[in-house]
C-alpha cells in the first residue's frame, strides 16, 4: 500500500506580511494513521524539499499526540525535509492520494496544473483522493471525464466560512473554500465549527478542519480497502 501526500510550498499569508504553510496536525495525524497501517508514504510538494510550516500550527495550544510524536520522530522529520517535487510523481506508483491543509494550498496547489493532473490521474484510475480543511480547495480546477467540475453533485466538506471568519482571514484568503465548493456544484455540508466532520463520496474523501484530519485519513484507508 503506497500513499502519496502532497503539501504546500507557499509561505506568505496574502499581503499581511505574515507566514503560512501547511498545518502540522493535518500532516502529522494522517501520516501516522498511514504509517501505523503499514503504508509506504511518499511526501511531495511543488518546490520539493522542506515545506513551510504554518507557525500558528506549531504553537503550544495547537499540539496533539500526533504532533508531539512527530517532534520526537527523526525519520518523519527527515522525510518531511526532503519532499519530492510534483514533477517527480508518477501516479501509477501509488494507491491513494492525500492533501493536508493549512492556508498555503489556497495560493499554490489550487492553481498548480501539475497538482490538477495528479488528481485527475488518481481519480480516473479508480484510486481514492482525500483532502482536509483548506486542502479541498485543490479541487477548484479539477474536472471529470465529461469536463464538468469533479466535485459537482458530490458530498464534500472543507473549511467553512464561519471557521474562516473565526480565524479572521475572510478578507485575506484568495477565496473561501465553502463558497468555491458550492459554486462548483458540490453537495457541501459542514458540522459544528472546529468539530470533526468527514464526507466520503466514492473516491473523494474530505474533512472540514484540523479536528477532522485523523478521521479523514481513516476514511481514505477505508475507501482504499474497497477498491484494492
> What CATH number did the domain enclosing 119 receive?
3.40.50.880
Domain that holds residue 65: 2-227
Cα 100 to Cα 120: distance, rounded to the nearest angstrom: 18
Residue 118 C-alpha cell reads as: 495528479
Cβ atoms 204, 151 nearer than 8 A: yes
Longest dimension (CA), the chain: 47
Q: What is the pLDDT along the chain (228 residues), one digit of tens a residue?
A: 999 999 999 999 999 999 999 999 999 999 999 999 999 999 999 999 999 999 999 999 999 999 999 999 999 999 999 999 999 999 999 999 999 999 999 999 999 999 999 999 999 999 999 999 999 999 999 999 999 999 999 999 999 999 999 999 999 999 999 999 999 999 999 999 999 999 999 999 999 999 999 999 999 999 998 876
- The residues facing 12 across adjacent strands are 19
- 159 class by beta-carbon count within 10 Å (0-12 exposed, 13-18 middle, 19+ buried): buried
Residue ranges of E strands in 7-157: 40-45, 84-85, 96-99, 129-132, 155-156
Number of compact structural domains in the chain: 1
Residue 227: per-residue pLDDT = 75
Amino acid at each position: 500500500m503506497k500513499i502519496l501526500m502532497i503539501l504546500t510550498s507557499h509561505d506568505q499569508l496574502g499581503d499581511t506580511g505574515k507566514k503560512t504553510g501547511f498545518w502540522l496536525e493535518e500532516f502529522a495525524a494522517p501520516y501516522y494513521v498511514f504509517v501505523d497501517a503499514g503504508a509506504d508514504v511518499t511526501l511531495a510538494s511543488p518546490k520539493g524539499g522542506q515545506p513551510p510550516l504554518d507557525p500558528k500550527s506549531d504553537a503550544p495550544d495547537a499540539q496533539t499526540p500526533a504532533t508531539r510524536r512527530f517532534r520526537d520522530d527523526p525519520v518523519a522529520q527527515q522525510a518531511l525535509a526532503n519532499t519530492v517535487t510534483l514533477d517527480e510523481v508518477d501516479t501509477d506508483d501509488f494507491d491513494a492520494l492525500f492533501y493536508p491543509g493549512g492556508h498555503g494550498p489556497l495560493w499554490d496547489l489550487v492553481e498548480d496544473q501539475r497538482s490538477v493532473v495528479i488528481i485527475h490521474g488518481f481519480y480516473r484510475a479508480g484510486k481514492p483522493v482525500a483532502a482536509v480543511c483548506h486542502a479541498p480547495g485543490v479541487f477548484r480546477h479539477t474536472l471529470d471525464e465529461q469536463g464538468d467540475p469533479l466535485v459537482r453533485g458530490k458530498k464534500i466538506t472543507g473549511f467553512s466560512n464561519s471557521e474562516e471568519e473565526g480565524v479572521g482571514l475572510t478578507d485575506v484568503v484568495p477565496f473561501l473554500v465553502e463558497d468555491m465548493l458550492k459554486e462548483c456544484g458540490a453537495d457541501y455540508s459542514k458540522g459544528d465549527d472546529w468539530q470533526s466532520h468527514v464526507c466520503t463520496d466514492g473516491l473523494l474523501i474530505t474533512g472540514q478542519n484540523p479536528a477532522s484530519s485523523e478521521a479523514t485519513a481513516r476514511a481514505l484507508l477505508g475507501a482504499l480497502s474497497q477498491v484494492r
